[in-house]
Amino acid sequence: MKIKAAVMREVGSPLTVEELEIAPPKENEVLIKTTASGICHSDYSVLHGVLGTPMPAVLGHEGAGVVEEVGPGVTHVKPGDHVVVSLSPSCGKCPMCLEEREYLCMEMSKASNGSCMMDGTTRLSNGDESVHQLLAIASFAEKMVIPAGCAVKVRDDAPLETCCIIGCGVTTGTGAAVNTADIQPGDSAAVIGCGGVGLSILQGAAIKGANPLIAIDPVLEKRELALSLGATHAIDPFNEDLKKTVREITGKGVQFAFEALGSMKTINDAYSILRPSGEAIIVGVASLHEKYELPVANLFAEKEFRGSVYGSSRPKRDLPLFVDWYMEGKLKLDEVITKRIKLEDVNQAFEEMSRGEGARSVIMFD
């Protein structure tokens, strides 16, 4: 079966839109007709070599669509079902899944390291050339074959062209606020970086009752959007003294500081604005070769430092829940999507991302 897809062939070079062959699903796999795919900053990081992938590879991991075919052994979805794609294969058998930590499913390493399916192969090809699938998903394509555990059924009345961003950015962000952190009403919180993930963190923190809730971003439009989505204060870190301003707002620093950019500077900033007993939660993905030097003195103020992987989510529980929150008006997703584009415009979207413009672009296939 022929499909169009955006292929990465060289680090730092534009993606090429090509016609590829997609093979049918094998055992425990699902074929999906893609409705839409968000463009995530992690895709940008892969394209620019911060995160690695074998090449050639179809990027994209924030997809949603309609099931067309299921392989042997698949019983939880059927043709015609509407699904949002999860990053976790949720194998149900590994120690992490058995501990209800599907966000750390041990099968994920196969997908993330090899950009392939669980058996080490890919369902995409261009003639005799195998084409890898980022995170075993490859949502920058008209159709996807993915591991069955990545296909999460959602309600039929939810618009997939918007709910696609729940697959990564929303779950990563909102989950960090409602699962990783133990926010209690009235706890102070700050979010550094107000792109798609950061705004999802902010909304999750608002739902949990964080107050004050501080948005930190140098881009005026993003700060204004954050204020409209529940932030009580906004700081421009390029033109204000971040630590001083946070202390003026909170009196002593924040209980929770979320970092959503993946840079060593902002990771350090998150830890620096904590109050005693505060917790810095690192959501953004920096280069995996970076090292962070933790100030030992701060440990004696019981300041904590932790990561959050995929919002500490249980996908089959959390993705449908976040869809429900969107449909109920608790989560604002349409406001986070700043542009809807065609597949052929994907490189322009990456250029805009490099300049810090907008929160989320979505590729539309229907």
Q: Where are the domains of the chain?
A: 2-170+312-364, 182-307
Q: Is 357 exposed, middle or buried (0-12, 13-18, 19+ CB in 10 A)?
A: middle
Under 8 Å between Cβ of 294 and 321: no
**Sign, CA torsion 182/62/231/284:** positive
Give the C-alpha separation, 56 to 126, whole Å. Answer: 10
pLDDT at position 358: 67
Under 8 Å between Cβ of 363 and 31: no
Q: Which tokens hold the place of 332?
A: 């604002």
pLDDT at position 301: 85
pLDDT at position 262: 85
More confident residue, 161 or 51: 161
Average pLDDT estimate for 317-321 = 96
pLDDT at position 39: 93
Give the C-alpha separation, 269 to 273, whole Å. Answer: 6
Task: Give pLDDT tens digits for 82-97.
Answer: 999 999 988 889 999 9
- Residues ≥6 apart with Cβ < 8 Å to 119: 26
Give the C-alpha separation, 121 to 119, whole Å. Answer: 6
Q: Which H or E element spans position 317?
A: helix 315-327
Task: Give pLDDT tens digits for 170-191.
Answer: 999 999 999 999 999 999 999 9
Task: Give pLDDT tens digits for 299-311.
Answer: 788 888 899 999 9
Average pLDDT estimate for 54-69 = 96
pLDDT at position 291: 80
Task: Give pLDDT tens digits for 349-359.
Answer: 999 888 877 66
In the predicted model, is pLDDT for residue 295 greater than 80?
no
In the predicted model, is pLDDT for residue 157 greater than 90?
yes
Task: Give pLDDT tens digits for 199-233.
Answer: 999 999 999 999 999 999 999 999 999 999 999 99
Q: Given pLDDT bands bounded at 50, 70 and 90, which one contains residue 253?
A: very high
Dihedral angle, C-alpha 13, 62, 331, 173, nearest 10 °: -70
* Amino acid, res. 356: G
CATH of domain 2-170+312-364: 3.90.180.10
In the predicted model, is pLDDT for residue 52 greater than 90?
no
Question: Percent of the chain scored above 70 by pLDDT?
Answer: 99
Domains 2-170+312-364 and 182-307 share a fold: no
More confident residue, 290 or 314: 314
pLDDT at position 359: 66
For the chain, the C-alpha Rg in angstroms (whole number) is 20
pLDDT at position 78: 97
> For all residues of the chain together, what is the average pLDDT?
93
In the predicted model, is pLDDT for residue 246 greater than 90?
yes
Under 8 Å between Cβ of 173 and 262: no
Q: Which tokens hold the place of 113?
A: 């390291």
Q: Measuring CA to CA, which residue among 311, 5, 292 is closest to residue 166?
A: 311
Q: Measuring CA to CA, which residue among 282, 273, 270 is closest to residue 252?
A: 273
Q: How many CA atoms lie within 13 A of 244 on its CB side?
A: 5
> How many CB atoms are closer than 10 A to CB 31?
22
State in words which class domain 182-307 has.
Answer: alpha beta
pLDDT at position 42: 85
In the predicted model, is pLDDT for residue 196 greater than 90?
no
pLDDT at position 212: 97
Give the C-alpha separation, 47 to 14, whole Å. Answer: 8
> Tokens 């920096």 map to which residue?
286
Q: Is 248 exposed, middle or buried (0-12, 13-18, 19+ CB in 10 A)?
A: exposed
